[in-house]
Structure 1
């Protein structure tokens, strides 16, 4: 190890908030820095798996990991005729659009746990937003942590891990602390210990109630500010742009995670609101749950109803539906603009040809279909997520891949694309082969699930190329079940549950058998 590398490693260990940034920008006072250094400290850092920087001949690909909160495939590259998303569409033209990517659980915390650990919710045994994954698998190696162990500088900003409602950031994953500070989680050491020691402590319940009460006291759509100065998504993009410049100067492969939000409450600058005419938005035809669907398959729009000005029960007024839909589209365009600024900086720095770019959302989002809002269901609009991948040297660009893929596939895919080893225990499948041949035979199904804890029910869902079968079972008696079945070829809007219709008995049995066989039985054929 060189002397300069030892300096950097100790710097990252002892004073990560400021010293690492100063050092990487060559502003660190070496004498002051050396006063912190000890042989044992350097050894401790080396145990984390950090390697020497690679030379130009063997340099690994960088990774720009763009996470978007609550984005359904409301993008031009997915065929939406209204949305204005020129920057994401430009990325799609330089990469591949995966049209059938599904989350494993339509809740941010659970989905992100799955993506970042490469494990499915049943393996993690986490179905809520209060349980940190390390309470279940304390030694699991996360996606950024695996890159860190293989010589990468890893850094996150914005929402990457879920850090709300008694949850917290994963410090082992990053070379420097997450930014901004509030993205590291709002907990004091005492509160953290309470969460780790007792997930259902009175203190935890009080904290969650206090956070939710804040939401109830504000409307779902806030008046559009004149500009984006000071707005959170803009500051995140600003920071990402600054860090890209510093990371290029550091001349070391990086894994940069940038989290941009499209989340309630919807706040965006006026210029993005003005992109749309409210009359453009056609209200959803399906205002009720599918015929013959069990009532608990819906979510009662509980997230939206927690905001002020929204009826606590009954239908949402059409005028408010149109306003919220307008705000959602404006928020997507605002997010697109910030992502565009980051991608433009990547180009300006000459980093695009050595950087893998992946853009994904943690789940989809209901916009009034079935009378539902936000997520928390097993239906198509909640479980289907956009995913776009651009890799330098791709032979196939600007095309769409209709193969069934899952967000849990991201971890092994990035490892393969970056030529770093995959740790044992991953439960996804690398989609790297699809980048060369998007029409090759692939998975037979994608798997999602959602728990209705108060009712003691778990809904497990299988999405095939044509059908979705969801089985709701009593968690105390798996032999008792209710089945939903939707045929997207004849009923793309999921208007009728056909599981009980005459003539579908064998189809239900076949799909139910495939669902219970699980994800391992649905893997792509070996070639």
Structure 2
């Protein structure tokens, strides 16, 4: 809120409000990759996301700082970069890794915002609880099966599924699954917030398309599986270091997935089908929330930001899930709608997820904490060219520098010494199939990128 003081004709100082504070609708979508119409992919039906993109600034090159849900969310919401020992895996809690940091919702709460978290915002619902005026999550098993056989096979398992299938197609209403409930809770909150005199930060964390790929049948019916194809990059080249691949244990937990080896082609296409259905399902739920925001006449005073917590491998490099530093796991959807500023623009500027926090607080006129590592992208909204043209992402030992068309990864030990390297040039190899790191003609480039990486990963990278 920006307050101006002035004196009236009688010399009495009067405080006036220049403009009403902006609300923020903060939409997180779990495991959403940028395989969407506004990114050039024409086969997924997501009309509500497409409509929002037409009113927003679309970031074509937004990268998460760590491709695993808990760590990615902790980094984004604290505005701090992962280090060697900070923000590591799905179980990461920001209030443990950076207990003195002022989270984005906490800063807003301190500045008069009503802060609400519905669904999966932080990975752990107990993380940074003091940042929120209220926290809500649907009741029930996290896997959220609706078919009796799957409920029985799943039992009480949450993280490790004993025998249930990796997908489900059920003849149920949208509100049977968690995301339908999260949307309805968001709509109810908007109605309550409408008549309050305080700005709000309403965070909605949607669960799909995270595994298992469970969605109402009508969303599966949108797609013809006979037309679904495996990705062009459905191979693992010998030039790529073995460290770049994993056994996608997150998927193999499910009872209908083989424990070793490639996923059979027919099953792979069924998984892709389920992923598409889940994207269409969550798109419909987000659409309901956006329609209500407009109906309540809150649209013109609300910044909307939508992001996926990381990318996702959908058979790319014969991999599934995240947990790698290929672009398929690092690049994620990011769009922001700012009333009066955005109207469907797109930018190829390289953005890191730690840039989101300083950008939002600049847009609403609040000073950023000094602990933030990111850089505001507001200049892009104003039509300017950003100063920063790089990003750094990491997963466990792998650290990646993204600079221009070059994607350079080192696997390093605690002392920072590399034991494997990977370099792709996206201008000639967008699918990342030809590792250039061992080619003699690229050694000068490798040496320079190695120096740049060590500068840009932060001075505390090895120590914290």
The TM-score normalised by the length of structure 1 is: 0.78
Task: Tell me what 1:8 maps to.
Answer: none
Q: Report SS of the residue matched to 1:268.
A: strand
Higher RCO (Cα < 8 Å, 6 or more apart): 2
Please give the residue correspondences for 1:46-445 in structure 2 after superposition, counting only pairs within 5 Å. Answer: 58-122=19-83, 125-163=86-124, 168-180=126-138, 211-213=158-160, 215-261=161-207, 262-394=209-341, 396-437=342-383, 440-445=385-390
Are 2:71 and 2:93, in contact at CA under 8 Å, matched by a contact in 1? Answer: no
CA contact (8 A) 1:103 1:407 kept: yes
Which residue pairs with 1:446 in the alignment?
391
Report the Cα distance in structure 1 between the residues aligned to 2:417 and 2:189, rounded to whole angstroms. Answer: 53
Deviations 1:156-176 (CA, angstroms, capped at 9, x unpaired): 10100012xxx7332111112
SS in 1 for 2:27: strand
C-alpha displacement of 1:131: 3.9
Aligned length: 431
RMSD: 2.1
Aligned-pair CA distance for 1:512: 1.4
Q: How far does the alpha carbon of each residue in 1:470-512 deviate from its partner, in whole angstroms, 9 at most, with x for none?
A: 001123x433421100011111111111111131111111211
**Normalised TM-score (structure 2):** 0.89
**1:124 CA displacement:** 7.0
Structure 1 position 479 matched with structure 2 position 426: no
Quick check: 1:291–1:496 contact (8 Å CA) kept in 2? no
Structure 2 CA distance for aligned equivalents of residues 123 and 435 of structure 1: 33
Task: Report the Cα distance in structure 2 between the residues aligned to 1:257 and 1:182, rounded to whole angstroms.
Answer: 20
Report if the CA contact (8 A) 2:27-2:307 is conserved: yes
The match for 2:149 is: none
Q: CA deviation at 1:57?
A: 5.2
Q: What CA deviation, in whole Å up to 9, does each residue of 1:201-221 have, x standing for no partner?
A: xxxxxxxx96444x1321111
Say if 1:385 and 1:183 are closer, same or farther in 2 by CA, change over 3 A.
Answer: farther
- In the alignment, the residues of structure 1 paired with residue 121 and residue 311 of structure 2 have an alpha-carbon distance, to the nearest angstrom, of 16
Could you tell me whether the CA contact under 8 Å between 2:71 and 2:89 is conserved in 1?
yes
Do the aligned residues in 1 keep the contact of 2:67 with 2:330 (CA within 8 Å)? yes
Distance 1:363 1:297 in 2: 17
Contact residue 22 and residue 303 of structure 2 kept, 8 A: yes
1:438-477 deviations in Å (ceiling 9; x for gaps): 6x144231110111xxxxxx111011120100001123x4
How far is 1:289 from its partner?
2.6
After TM superposition, the structure 1 = structure 2 runs for residues 480-499 of structure 1, keeping only pairs within 5 Å, are 480-499=418-437
CA drift of 1:66 comes to: 0.3
What is aligned with 1:23? none
The structure whose residues are more often helix, as a share, is: 1
Q: Could you list the per-position Cα deviations for residues 283-340 of structure 1 after superposition, in whole angstroms to 9, with x for gaps in the alignment?
A: 1232333432221211222211111111111110000000000110110011111001
CA distance in 2, matches of 1:499, 1:372: 21
User: 1-side partners of 2:418 and 2:34: how far apart?
Assistant: 35
Which structure shows the bigger proportion of residues in strand conformation? 2
Partner residue in 1 for 2:462: none
Partner Cα distance (2:278, 2:104) in 1: 28
Is 1:104–1:408's contact at 8 Å kept on the other side of the alignment?
yes
C-alpha deviations, 1:250-289, integer Å up to 9, x for none? 2320000011122000111111111111122211232333
Distance in 2 of aligned mates of 1:131 and 1:94: 34
Query: 1:116 and 1:350, CA in 2 relative to 1: closer, same or farther beyond 3 A?
Result: same
Q: Distance in 2 between matches of 1:123 and 1:292?
A: 26
- The answer to whether the 8 Å contact 1:305/1:311 transfers is yes
Question: Distance in 1 between the 2:168 and 2:105 partners?
Answer: 35
| Equivalent-residue separation in structure 1 for 2:338 and 2:171 (angstroms) | 36
- Structure 2, unmatched stretches of 5+, are 1-14, 143-155, 460-464
Cα distance in 1 for partners of 2:138, 2:157 equals 22
Contact 1:62–1:355 (8 Å) recurs in 2:
yes
